[in-house]
Amino acid sequence: MISTSAAAAVAVSIAEEHGVRVRRPVVLQDSFNLRIHLRPAPIVARVPTVTALGRARPDEVLRRELEVVSYLHKSGAPVVPPSDLLPAGPHVRDGVVVSFWAYVAHDPDYRVTPEEAGRGLAGLHEAMRGFPGRLLYLGPVLEEPARLLELLDGEVEADVLARLREAHAGLAARLEGGPVQAVHGDAHPGNLLATPAGLLWNDFEECMAAPVGWDLACLLRTTRLDGRAALRAYGADPDDPCLPAFMAARALQGTLWMLVRALGIPSEAAAGRAALEAWLRDPSGVRR
C-alpha cells in the first residue's frame, strides 16, 4: 500500500502542474482513503489507499463518484462539489489515483439530529432518482466483497473465512427491496458536513444502483444517532421486513473492509479483529 507521504507528494505534484500553489498540505483524514487539504488553496485531494487494495480499478470508482456528485451539484442538491480550480480527475500517476474536491469549512463537532439525517437522505434520494448515468447494481455490496475475501485468504482462520464466504454467497438472493435507483451507498451521519451553507453530503465513492433500503439500513445501523427515529423522519418504517437483509449485508461489508484495512495498516489489527468477533457473534447486523 502506498505511504501517506508518497500519496501526498503525487497529489501535490499534479495540483501544481495545473497552476495550484501548495505551500502547506495538511492531512485531514488517513483511514481508508487519504484526504489532504492543499493549503492555501481551497482544494482537498483524495487518494484511495486501503480502498485501492480491494478495488481492481479505483480510478473507475472515483470517476463514477465524480459523475454522480457533479450531476447532484448542478441540480442544486446539498453536496460537497468537485473542485472547479483544476480538472477534478480522476488522475492516475505511478499507480496512484487522485481526485480533487472543494474544501468546505465545517464544524466536526456538530451532532446531526435524526430528523436532519432522515429528511436529508429523503431529499438526496429524490435528487438522485434523476441521475441519467449507468451504475453497477449493488457493486460495492456484491462485487467488492468478493475481492476482499480473496485478499483475506490465508489471513484469517480457514473456518472463519468459510463462514464469511457463505454469508456473502447468500446475499444476492436476499437483497431485494423494491425499485432500484442511484443511492449514496454509505449514508451515515459522518458523511454529512455541517457547513455555513447547511448540511452537505460527502463521500459518494460507494454510490450504486440499489433499492433505497440499502441507504436506510446504513442509517439504521449507525451508532451516531437514533437510527429508528431517522428512518421515521425519512418517511420509512424502521421495521420494514426488507431491511434485515440489507443490514446483514452492511455488517458483512464493514467487517471485510476492517479486516483488509488491518492488512494495509498493521496498527489496525486489533480493530479488525474486534469487528470480526462482533460479526461472528451477530452476523445479522442488528447489534452495533
- CB count in 10 Å sphere of residue 110: 14
Burial class from Cβ neighbours inside 10 Å (0-12, 13-18, 19+) for residue 223 reads: exposed
CA angle 245, 246, 250 (to 5 degrees): 120
User: Which pTM value belongs to this model?
Assistant: 0.92
Verify that 124 and 68 share a domain, yes or no: no
Q: Which residues of the chain have pLDDT under 70?
A: 176-177, 287-288
pLDDT in the model for residue 158: 95
Verify that 32 and 140 share a domain, yes or no: no
Name residue, grid cell 423522519.
Answer: 233
Dmax (CA) of the chain: 54
Average pLDDT over the chain reads 93
Verify that 157 and 97 share a domain, yes or no: no
Number of domains in the chain: 2
pLDDT digit string (tens) for 100-117? 999 999 999 999 999 999
Q: Where are the alpha helices (DSSP H) in the chain?
A: 4-17, 50-53, 58-74, 114-128, 139-152, 158-169, 171-174, 213-221, 227-234, 243-264, 269-281
pLDDT digit string (tens) for 26-77? 999 888 899 999 999 999 999 999 898 888 889 999 999 999 999 999 999 9
pLDDT in the model for residue 284: 86
Verify that 151 and 252 share a domain, yes or no: yes
